[in-house]
Amino acid sequence: MRGKLTRGWQHRSGFYNRPFHRRAGIGPPNVMTKYVFVTGGVVSSLGKGIASASLAALLESRGLRVTLIKLDPYLNVDPGTMSPFQHGEVFVTDDGAETDLDLGHYERFITTRMKRSNNFTTGQIYKSVLEKERRGDYLGKTVQVIPHVTNEIQTFIQRGAEGVDVAIAEIGGTVGDIESLPFLEAARQMSLRLGPNNAAFVHLTYVPYIAAAGELKTKPTQHTVQKLREIGIQPDALLCRADRVIPDEEREKISLFTNVPLWGVISMPDVDTIYKVPRVLHEQGLDGLICDKLRLHTPPANLKRWDDLVYEVEHPQGEVRIAMVGKYVDLSDSYKSLNEALRHAGLKNHVRVAITYIDSETLDDDKVAERLGGFDAILVPGGFGKRGVEGKIRAARYAREQRVPYLGICLGMQVATIEFARHVAGLEGANSTEFDPHTPHPVIALIDEWLDADGTLQKRDANTDLGGTMRLGAQSADVLPGTLAYQIYGPVVTERHRHRYEANTQYLDRLRQAGLVISALTQREQLTEIVELPQDVHPWFMGVQFHPEFKSTPWDGHPLFNAYIAAALRHQQQRAPQTTPEVASA
């Protein structure tokens, strides 16, 4: 009997020691990489991205190399053509991928930089499978969700996990949705094929408080875990979102009905800053639980930098007020990275940044001064399409004429250029061909050729597909000495781009003659990257064609935003009424 047991164990052990790709029928594995799959239940928008990034930060603080991968269940190839109202902002990586906004959280929480392989969608998976089918890669087989689609998902996960100790895969959507079932099945298969102690499951759920009953209800959490277990996934940890700390009695009940040990039922209450979440999870032992499950032997977590950050957040020495004049102001997620970049810059300047969102469609000539007059600085963010553009132009004009610090990002740079052309350079009717194809002065126009960061020549025209065809990713430009941009960046600026239209090179000399400073140009095409006003004309006025917000972190902020908030603080101090000292009576 003992011999049979030994041979049986050796057989199973041999199975787990066989190469992963031979067991799975997919590509070779990433040697020694462990996986954590993060799922969500009950409702969306609970904060899976923040929870995943926080767990990654905890593991990184233990000395592990960590990356995160976002799996999105929608059929779009990427979010690049989706409205911000549908999906929030589109986050752009250095290699030019248009990705989910959660990748912005990932980069702000850990040191690993995201790339194209860190985000993929159902659309990309099916596109890849169908291309293989057309090439005959499946050798005449019937192509099915299992195994072909689920194997492709696993291949994509492995691709994003190269070169790290732990890869955290966040599965978008809610357990029970039809769309996310192939992803969940792929995760189940992958955990089985990896073998014991190589994969863990963390499930984010919701525990609502019913005011009429005066109690928290655990039934939705019981049901969402039941759905997971039906498809063969047993969570190792539950992150229970609620508007308050979940008492031990409710945690014990959740543990009993979900088959998750009590120490794996973790309360995740609302907090006033997302930067408190790593500490909240660490104090309840989430990182220790995951390390135990994955047999990772690490030093203790060191959260000093997070504690220092939270202290800075909670102890500002002042406040600056920023007017953000945009088109997508009804959904703050549309400007998620931008909001965070401003707050990071506030931390570097020891002030709280209060952002007021102003719909550019509603900014009329007769109300500009009334609506913008009380702010310390004005910011015009990016956007696409004609709607609300004239309101943005009015905001740029007000900032220029009233000497209010101004930062224009992407479209914000373009509207500042249009405004200057119309009202300073005398180019009546100047516009972008995006908004007026027949403008007499197309100071902004469609770029038809440029060189990518990898040296590839890209060509476009008005009939080119919209998806994935903009100038995307990190690109460099030379900065003009003696300018505000040079003070901030030095001789070279390298930032991430996402735009289709550019400042028309045919008008640059006329704009320069009128006083506009073109302070950064790309080396090959001479495309405008930064415009500004001379500092003897305006204390701080700058427009940038790129998106600097994508590279801001809570630890260092970003040099451009740090300088912008510092300028807003100076403007506030200059506007402050001078108090007359009281004269003591005789």
Active site residues: 410, 547, 549
Q: Point out which residues pair with 358 in neighbouring strands.
A: 325
Spatial separation of the C-alpha atoms in residues 524 and 331, rounded to whole Å? 38
CB 473 within 8 A of CB 99: no
Sequence-distant (≥ 6) Cβ neighbours of residue 439 within 8 angstroms: 429, 430, 431, 432, 433
| Burial class of residue 427 (count of CB atoms within 10 Å of its CB; 0-12, 13-18, 19+) | buried
DSSP state of 5: H
**H or E element: which one contains 528?**
strand 528-532
| Residue carrying structure tokens 């409710």 | 250
The closest of 371, 389, 400 to 516, measured between CA atoms, is 400
DSSP state of 178: S
* CA 564 to centroid of chain Cα atoms: 21
Spatial separation of the C-alpha atoms in residues 466 and 34, rounded to whole Å? 37
CA distances from 402 to 205, 325, 485 (A): 50, 16, 21
CB 363 within 8 A of CB 309: no
DSSP-assigned states of every residue in 236-299:
SEEEEEESSPPPHHHHHHHHHHHT--GGGEEEEE--SSGGGHHHHHHHTTHHHHHHHHTT---P
Measured in degrees and rounded to the nearest 5, phi and psi for residue 76 equal -60, 145
Sequence-distant (≥ 6) Cβ neighbours of residue 473 within 8 angstroms: 92, 93, 94, 95, 96, 97, 452, 453, 496, 497
CB 153 within 8 A of CB 182: yes
